[in-house]
Structure formats: C-alpha cells, structure tokens
Structure 1
Amino acid sequence: MSDTDNEDTPFRAGTVAVLGRPNVGKSTLVNALVGAKVSIVSPRPQTTRHRLLGIATFADGQLLLVDTPGIHREQKRAMNRMMNRAARGAVDGVDAAVLVIEAGRWTDEDDLAFRALREAKVPCVLVVNKVDKVADKGQLLPFIAQVADGREFAAVHPVSAQKNKGLEALAKTLVGLVPESPPQYGEDEITDRSERFLAGELVREQLMLRLGEELPYSTTVEIERFEEDGELLRIAAAIWVERDGQKPIVIGKGGERLKAISTGARVGMEKLFGRKVFLETWCRVREGWSDDEAALRRFGYSD
C-alpha cells in the first residue's frame, strides 16, 4: 500500500483470519504482508501447527492477520484434530477472512476451508496464490470463474506471495474491510507471540526442511531455557520424537544432522531477534506425544 498519508482517510484496524488447506502458502502470504518472518515455512504440508498473529501496519490501516494450520481431512492423531479445531476457531470474532487457494487447483479440502469461512458470516476474500507457477496465464480467469461460481467472495486477488506480486492491492482491499479504529499494536510490532515461542518454531522449521518424509511430523520442540546474557541470547531446545529409533535419525552420523539443524535455527534466530544467539539442542523420546492431548498442551499446542 502507498505510504502517502491522507488526512481525509480514516485509519482502520481489525482482525483477518487466513484459512486454507495445507501447503497453499498461507504463512508465506502472512510473512509477506507483515514484511517480516513471523510464521515458519517449508515445502511440506502442515508445517504450521499453531494459530499465530502477524501484525501488518500500513499508512492508513493495521491488519491483525491470524495465520492458521491448514484445514485437512486427516484426523488420525490428537494433533491433527487440535490443528483443525485451531483453524476453525480462528474465524470467531474476526472482521474479515481470506481463503487462500493454489492457482489451478481446487480440492475437497479447499471446500472444507470455504465452508468453515461461510459459517463465520464475515466478508471473505479469495486469494489465488502461486500464480507465478501457472505456465499458461490464460487458464487463470476460467479457473477463478469456476471457483467463484456459486460461492460468494468480497473480492478475488491473484497473487504470488513468494514473489511479492499482487499484495499491495490485496492489502488495500483488506484494510477496507476492517472497521475504523486506531492501531491496536505499535508500528514496530510484528506478532503477539514471544521470542521464546518463535525460537522453538525456528528449530522446528529446520526439522521440517532437513528430515525425511514422515519423521518431521513425529517431532516437536520445547524451549527449556531462554535467557538474556547482555547482548547474547542463551537458548536451550529439546527436540522430542515418538520412538527410540527416530532419535539417531535426528542426530545423524557423528551428530552432523543435529548440528546442521542447530546452525540453521541459530542463523534464523539471529536474523529475527537482531542479536547473537548461543543455541544448545538435544533429542529426547516421548512415546506417542502427538496423540496425547496432555503432552500436546505441555508442548504449547492449543485449539
């Protein structure tokens, strides 16, 4: 959006839920609108496990963007059920919503997400993401017309969140849908989550990026120590797995994989927090943690 101040334009601020099936780019979109990394991203579906607020402040408005886990049909474990409840609950009390879909694809899970938003009875904007990956751009308009047929949207925006294309117009539309209000957060605030929470997410992001197909979904991260030592942050993170046999996979030969995970996470933390970080990590086993609601709540999961 333009940074030009207009005295005749009232400031607007409000909450916008961002929903969609897994892996359509919800977190990338939130990060791009905020202008900073508040949600972790990876090529794997269900990377986002928590409801998280990203604060995007513009010249004439502030959007409180609720990033959510992808709505999915799989309900095998307590964690899947909790993630779905967190996503559906995100629409309670919001001023507007965004349904993010992937250009050229509409699935049953997209329909699940749309129905959750329809029940919320708030203005819903359709965001067609990843348009840069569509080779034949002539297919976009017929696809959008097909999706919009029989479904009510306040607006439709084709975007590429990864390449920052189409976001200015989207932000303008969203600001127009929230009420006149003074900003609810300071201009330099980007999330309501603590640095401790974000540190754990950055470790988990490395697990999603560096482990095989199934193992990342059996891992979670618990920050056991987060201390300021002058300009240095001292952080200790436990990586939890579900079976003894998974532990050596996380650690790797001679500890090389765990070292790479720690280095990647530390670099991300230093960039986000703007200071030096000393990070210790280790791996522990808790049988079946992802299907145990008490364990999930201990590890910070909530619906």
Structure 2
Amino acid sequence: MQIASISNPTLPPRAGFVATLGRPNAGKSTLLNHLLGEHLALVSHKANATRKQLQLIVPYKPLNAQIIFVDTPGIHHQEKLLNQYMLSQALKAMGDCDLALYLAPVSDDIRHYEHFLELYQGKHILLLSKIDTCTNEQILCKITQYQRFSDTFLELLPVSVKRGFDKEMILRTIASHLPFSPFLYDEELLCNVSLKEIYKEMIRQSLFENLSDEIPYEADVVIKTFEEGAEQDRIFAHIIVEKSSQKGVVIGKGGSGIKRISKCAREKIQSLSTKAIFLKLDVEVYKGWSKQRETLKKIGYDFTL
C-alpha cells in the first residue's frame, strides 16, 4: 500500500524516536525495511545479526509527522563483550526513545514480554509478529494471553511482513503517539549513517546470506578504504573472523566463497547507488576479537559512546 503523499500543513508537526525492540530474530529489521521502502537495515536469519543502533527516518505526511525508527540488536544476555555491547545499544535506545515498538513473534512464550516489561516501563506498542506461521485460532489465543497486560501497552497489532500488512495503519498509529515537535532531521534523509556504514552492513549481510550455517555471527566487516568518485565508488574491505579455519571457509575452494560473497555484496550496493561500484574483499583473522574491548573499539564498537 502506498503512503499518502499529500501532507496536511494545517496540523502541528510531530517528531520522535521510536525504539524497535524484541528478541533476536523477532523480525525488527525486516519490518523497518518495509516501512521505509528501502533495504537499509541488515536482515539475516542468523541471530544477533544487528549489532548497532541504526536510525531510519520515515515521514508520515497525513499527520505531518517524522518518525525516526531506531533499529536495535535483539534483547539477550550473554557473557561475551560483543553481546554486552549489543545489549547496551538496545538499553540505550529504550532510555532515549519517545515511544517503543516491541515485536513479539506469535510463537514466543509470553515470559519474554514480561522480561521486556522489567527493563522498560515507558510508552510502547506491542506488535505480534510472524502471524503467517500460525492459524487464526492460535493468533486469537495468543492475543488473549497478552490482554492481561493491556494496561501496559498502548496498542496491540498483529503483523506479518510475508503475508502483507497495512503499512498506512501502522504508521498512522505510531505517528499519533509521537510528541508535537519540529522535524528533527532534514526531510530528504533516510537514515543517520554514512554510505560507508551502509555499504559495510550490506557486505556483512552478503556474508551471512552465503555462509550463514558455516560462519558464526562473530564474523564482521571492516572497510579499510572508501573512495568516492564522480562516476565510481571504490571499496576495499576486510572480512574478519576469529579462527584460521573460518578464513578458509570464507575464501572457499579456489576462491569460490569470497567471489560469491563479493558478487552478492556488489549487487546490493549497486541497487542503492547510481554510480559504478568497485569492491575488493580480503579475509583477515583477528583472534578472539569479540572478547577484546580494545579491538572492539577499533572496529567500531565503542562502549563509551
């Protein structure tokens, strides 16, 4: 469904940050890409693929609103430093947001939502996601279970990206709960990060898409050089892994793995760019990088931010 493109200038502007929260693989990034209409948030069936906050800016003109969705890592608890960093990103989004969306897959035990309520007591909308995986009777049963929390959430909305959902209704519901405020970003912006960071995420998604079963989620990407030209962007990046055996898996027999990842990544980047794309990928071993605070900081995961 197309969002109405005619704004209502007689309405006072609304704007606010909307934290998108849930357990790993709840469908947060997939939902946001559909609401934005662009593929900017990393989507992977591998748990904990999202590492950092990403702000995606969606206008809703009928209510003269600017919705700033904050994509976050899944709420989970593990001892590794990388996991601690990811949880800190989700908790920070909770503290900074004007409104939260909590995605609860219809198959989830309700105790996960109860845990969320222990962490966050603010305004939120509960989205019952992945309803295409259940029968209507099962969906109604799950909605009934959540009704005992009706005094904690503003709305309960069942959604399925695969089956299709009412994008207009969801955006209107979210916008109606935002504070009255001037717009916080330029109306032409789609997100708050650089092209370099977006390209990095597209390379990382290509890695997971092609080698998700063989490579642990700790694999990452570091862009060593990014050269923007008038007609071509040149990207030189390293895929980093923790073990030499993982490096061999990424490269593949006769270089087949790295070629497949490069082709996939280049196509994703090209779909977003009007310029030609040159991409050169190498693979490096950073032993134990996900457990080392200084190494994490060097590649972009700064606990002090």
Which amino acid counterpart does residue 226 of structure 1 have in structure 2?
A: F
2:19/2:93 contact within 8 Å kept: yes
Which amino acid counterpart does residue 76 of structure 2 have in structure 1?
A: H
Residue 35 (structure 2) pairs with residue 33 (structure 1): yes
Aligned-residue RMSD, C-alpha: 1.7
Which amino acid counterpart does residue 86 of structure 1 have in structure 2?
A: Q
Residue 79 (structure 2) pairs with residue 80 (structure 1): no
Which amino acid counterpart does residue 145 of structure 1 have in structure 2?
A: T
Write out per-residue CA displacement over residues 50-75 of structure 1, whole angstroms, 9 at most, x where no aligned residue: 111011112121111010000113x1
The gaps in structure 2 that reach 5 residues or longer are: none
1:21/1:110 contact within 8 Å kept: no
Which amino acid counterpart does residue 115 of structure 1 have in structure 2?
A: E
The number of residue pairs the alignment matches comes to 298
Which amino acid counterpart does residue 250 of structure 1 have in structure 2?
A: V
Give the direction of change, closer, same or farther, for the CA distance of 1:163–1:298 in structure 2 (3 Å limit): farther
Give the direction of change, closer, same or farther, for the CA distance of 1:71–1:191 in structure 2 (3 Å limit): same
Give the direction of change, closer, same or farther, for the CA distance of 1:282–1:108 in structure 2 (3 Å limit): farther
Residue 199 (structure 2) pairs with residue 174 (structure 1): no
2:110/2:146 contact within 8 Å kept: no
Write the distance in 1 (CA, Å) between the matches of 2:118 and 2:168: 27
Which amino acid counterpart does residue 67 of structure 1 have in structure 2?
A: D
- The alpha carbon displacement at 1:150 in A equals 3.3
- The alpha carbon displacement at 1:163 in A equals 4.7
2:46/2:212 contact within 8 Å kept: no
2:132/2:162 contact within 8 Å kept: no
Judge which range, 147-156 or 81-90, deviates more: 147-156
Write the distance in 1 (CA, Å) between the matches of 2:55 and 2:86: 15
1:226/1:236 contact within 8 Å kept: yes
- The alpha carbon displacement at 1:169 in A equals 1.3
Q: Name 2:142's counterpart in structure 1.
A: 143
- The alpha carbon displacement at 1:179 in A equals 1.3
Judge which range, 98-107 or 236-245, deviates more: 98-107
- The alpha carbon displacement at 1:243 in A equals 1.2
Write the distance in 2 (CA, Å) between the matches of 1:240 and 1:107: 37
Among candidates 86, 92, 97, match of residue 95 of structure 2: 92
Q: Secondary structure at the match of 1:91?
A: helix
Give the direction of change, closer, same or farther, for the CA distance of 1:46–1:16 in structure 2 (3 Å limit): same
Residue 105 (structure 2) pairs with residue 106 (structure 1): no
- The alpha carbon displacement at 1:108 in A equals 4.4
Give the 5 Å matches for 1:204-219.
204-213=204-213, 215-219=215-219
Which amino acid counterpart does residue 61 of structure 1 have in structure 2?
A: A
Give the direction of change, closer, same or farther, for the CA distance of 1:107–1:207 in structure 2 (3 Å limit): farther
Give the 5 Å matches for 1:49-60.
49-59=51-61, 60=64
Write the distance in 2 (CA, Å) between the matches of 1:115 and 1:274: 46
Among candidates 14, 17, 21, match of residue 15 of structure 1: 17
Write the distance in 1 (CA, Å) between the matches of 2:259 and 2:117: 41
Residue 119 (structure 2) pairs with residue 116 (structure 1): yes
Superposition TM-score, scaled by structure 1 size: 0.93
Give the direction of change, closer, same or farther, for the CA distance of 1:276–1:111 in structure 2 (3 Å limit): farther
Which amino acid counterpart does residue 66 of structure 1 have in structure 2?
A: V
Which amino acid counterpart does residue 149 of structure 2 have in structure 1?
A: G
Write the distance in 1 (CA, Å) between the matches of 2:164 and 2:136: 18
Give the 5 Å matches for 1:1-303.
1-59=3-61, 60-73=64-77, 75-106=78-109, 108-118=111-121, 121=122, 123-134=123-134, 136-150=135-149, 152-213=152-213, 215-303=215-303
Write the distance in 2 (CA, Å) between the matches of 1:107 and 1:146: 8
- The alpha carbon displacement at 1:7 in A equals 4.2
Write the distance in 2 (CA, Å) between the matches of 1:64 and 1:44: 25
Write the distance in 1 (CA, Å) between the matches of 2:235 and 2:291: 27
1:32/1:162 contact within 8 Å kept: no
Write the distance in 2 (CA, Å) between the matches of 1:7 and 1:201: 36
In percent, how many aligned pairs have the same letter?
34
Write the distance in 2 (CA, Å) between the matches of 1:101 and 1:22: 10
Write the distance in 2 (CA, Å) between the matches of 1:42 and 1:54: 18
